[in-house]
Amino acid sequence: MKRASAILAHAVLIAAAAVFLLPFFWMLLTSVKPTAEFFDPRRLLPSHFAGLEHYRRALTDVPLLRFMVNGVVVCGAILALQLATALPCAYALAKLRFRGRQALFALVLAALAVPAQVPAIPLYLAFAHLHLLDSYAALILPFATSAFGIFLFRQTILAIPDETLHAARLDGCGEFALVWRIVLPQAWPTVGAFAVISVVAHWNDLYWPMIVIVSPELAPPPLGVMFFRTAELASTEYGALLAGGVMITAPLMLAFACAGRVFLRGVAMTGPGRSPF
């Protein structure tokens, strides 16, 4: 009975994975097909490999590598700022006792329910007044901290024994030193899980870059694909467009495949062990 349940569970998981991977598999196959075979339902596999031409055009006709470099810069800067702000905030909410702590944590939970579109107009007006539109700052600064990151790290820090922190204080360790020298090494799996979530979210973000960026040289990958679509090339050369999509999507899939165990460990470390308040 247990074996049958395990087989059924694995079959369901494999079927779900196939459904989610099917669009990427179709995009990968189409990116190496000759143009004449794109809409031929009788041909799943290409009659001959045309990928070199499609990928060459994706790299040369639009600055695709520049879009990807922009994505790395923006995602890396956002992640660094989020870790620098979320970890100390989470430590304070988890281990320090001060008036208003519960109210502040309630505000963090409330912030999780606010859609990204709600503060978009005030943020746009603020960056316009500061003359920061169409810049890396406009892409990075609105996400310099993360309510989800604060919540995630707080749940992990709650599991760290208070005795460990008291012993470090007796050795002369200050509160900020505690965060980076004691808390951070014990929260590495959670940092890995949060890094995957943050990078995937901001690498794929189109809504905010589409509002604040007009220069192609500053475009992150999703906005770069939109510029690609509006080019004369993309009106007929679907192979090059899909080749660009493969190159933009593949790094995230490979990173998640490599960091899968760290991601699961990090999520498991934030499981319910104490009351949120």
Let me know if residue 20 belongs to a domain.
no
Let me know if residue 159 belongs to a domain.
yes
Residue 242 has pLDDT above 50, yes or no: yes
In angstroms, the CA 79 to CA 186 distance is: 19
Are the beta carbons of 136 and 218 closer than 8 angstroms?
A: yes
Residue 233 has pLDDT above 60, yes or no: no
In angstroms, the CA 132 to CA 5 distance is: 56
Instruction: Please give the residue that has the higher pLDDT: either 26 or 103.
Output: 103
Distances (CA, A) of 50 to 17, 133, 218, 225, 247: 28, 40, 30, 21, 16
Q: How many CB atoms lie within 10 A of CB 195?
A: 21
In angstroms, the CA 98 to CA 120 distance is: 32
pLDDT, mean over the chain: 84
The confidence score (pLDDT) of residue 1 equals 66
In angstroms, the CA 171 to CA 175 distance is: 12
| Residue range 47-88, pLDDT digits in tens | 778 788 888 888 887 788 899 999 999 999 999 999 999 999
Let me know if residue 18 belongs to a domain.
no
Let me know if residue 170 belongs to a domain.
yes
| Residue range 186-206, pLDDT digits in tens | 888 889 889 988 998 999 999
Domain range enclosing 70: 66-222+255-269
Cα 258 to chain centroid distance, Å, stands at 15
Percent pLDDT > 70 in the chain is 88
In angstroms, the CA 158 to CA 274 distance is: 8
Let me know if residue 17 belongs to a domain.
no
What the block records as the tokens of 116 is: 């990204």
How many domains would you assign to the chain? 1
The confidence score (pLDDT) of residue 273 equals 47
Percent pLDDT > 90 in the chain is 35
Q: Taking the chain, what is the end-to-end CA distance rounded to the nearest angstrom?
A: 41
Can you tell me the mean pLDDT for 129-138?
94
Let me know if residue 131 belongs to a domain.
yes
In angstroms, the CA 82 to CA 145 distance is: 4
The confidence score (pLDDT) of residue 265 equals 64
Can you tell me the mean pLDDT for 207-225?
90
Cα 202 to chain centroid distance, Å, stands at 5
The confidence score (pLDDT) of residue 135 equals 94
- The CATH number covering residue 144 comes to 1.10.3720.10
Let me know if residue 25 belongs to a domain.
no
Q: Residue 270: pLDDT band by 50, 70, 90 thresholds?
A: low
